[in-house]
Amino acid sequence: MLGHSPIQRGLLLSMTRPKASVILSVYNRFDFLQLVLAGLEIQTEPDFEVIISDDGSHEAFINQLATLRAVSPLRISHNWHPDTGFLKNRILNVSIRSAQGAQLIFLDGDCIPHPAFVAEHLALGGPDRCLAGRRIDLSDRLTRQLTPVRVRQGVLQSPYTAIGQLIGFLTRRTFHFMNGLYVTNPLLRSYFNRKERGLLGANFSVMKADLEAINGFDERYNAPTFGEDSDVEFRLRLNGVKVIPVLNIAVTYHCHHKLLPRPEANRALYEHVVRESQAFTPYGLVQ
């Protein structure tokens, strides 16, 4: 599709089934979403759709997104339901049902993807494989300096930015600095991923068929930060899906914001799921 404008490329891709569906979990914060979409615009692999999985953002957010979608080169759809509490898993299941890609890549709406993000997930994913990525936590200062234009220009991959983030790490303003390093050397990739790691909902991928086999996300989880990630990982493993770490391969940059409270409301439910050890939840895609 060389020689076509970004919008023309988007129209051509929209006429075919995409290789992957990037499912973006959002709740307000349109400023962060603009940065994430800018990162998706510069992917080395363009054959994917973007599904905004919206857990009840306000009207201003919806209007801003509609304006952006009208001019974006990306193939974007928007799934939304009213804000009646933390129902992220419910809207994720809506997005899974509508997804056209064979591989589903899950990304949070405050995590900007590296340009090779989609390509790496597609290259390393496949049946019975769940790829578990990580993120670098950007400093407050760098987050405030970011704009969609600067993201498209590759500022997050700049050596000067990396040096600044290293200084931030040493002064405790940046966290998980090593997670932001993208490596291509096979030996380094093997070394960084020699240990088993759990699934992080902000950066993972799995084949749609493998997620349908466990009936998607369990919609009983209704509080943030605990349970929804661990639950789907546990049930995928029960069904024979191998969780494969892709640290320093599928890289994302997490925008700085105040930490969310970490309630334990879902712990009892998750422990019950573990005791039952049933891969297929009756509270998921099909009920």
> Which of 188, 201, 177, 190 lies closest to 245, judged by CA?
190
Structure tokens at 30: 């349109």
User: How is domain 6-276 classified at the architecture level of CATH?
Assistant: Alpha-Beta Complex (3.90)
Residue ranges with strand state E in the chain: 20-26, 48-54, 76-80, 103-108, 111-113, 129-132, 134-137, 203-207, 242-245, 251-254
Longest distance between any two alpha carbons in the chain, whole Å = 56
Dist CA 113 CA 203 (whole Å): 9
Q: Which amino acid is at 272?
A: H
Q: Angle CA(275)–CA(279)–CA(281) in degrees, nearest 5?
A: 90
Looking at per-residue pLDDT, the higher value among 250 and 261 belongs to 250
Extents of the domains making up the chain: 6-276
Predicted local distance difference test score (pLDDT) of residue 261: 64
Mapped onto helix, strand or coil, the DSSP state of residue 25 is strand
Token reading at 184: 């291509």
Distance CA 26, CA 55 (A): 6
> Cα dist. 264→63, 157, 239 in Å?
34, 37, 26
Q: Do 24 and 202 contact (CB within 8 A), yes or no?
A: no
In this prediction, what percent of the chain has a pLDDT beyond 70? 90
Query: What are the pLDDT digits (tens) for 19-49?
Result: 999 999 999 999 999 999 999 999 999 999 9
Is pLDDT at 88 greater than 90 in this prediction?
A: yes
Model pTM?
Answer: 0.91
pLDDT at 2 over 60: no
The confidence score (pLDDT) of residue 262 equals: 64
Give the pLDDT of residue 15: 63
More confident site: 17 or 257: 17
103-150 pLDDT, tens digit per residue, is: 999 999 999 999 999 999 999 999 999 999 999 999 888 999 999 999
CB burial class (10 A; 0-12, 13-18, 19+) of residue 206? buried
Which residue in the block uniquely carries the two structure tokens 């439910």? 269
pLDDT at residue 12 is higher than 60? no
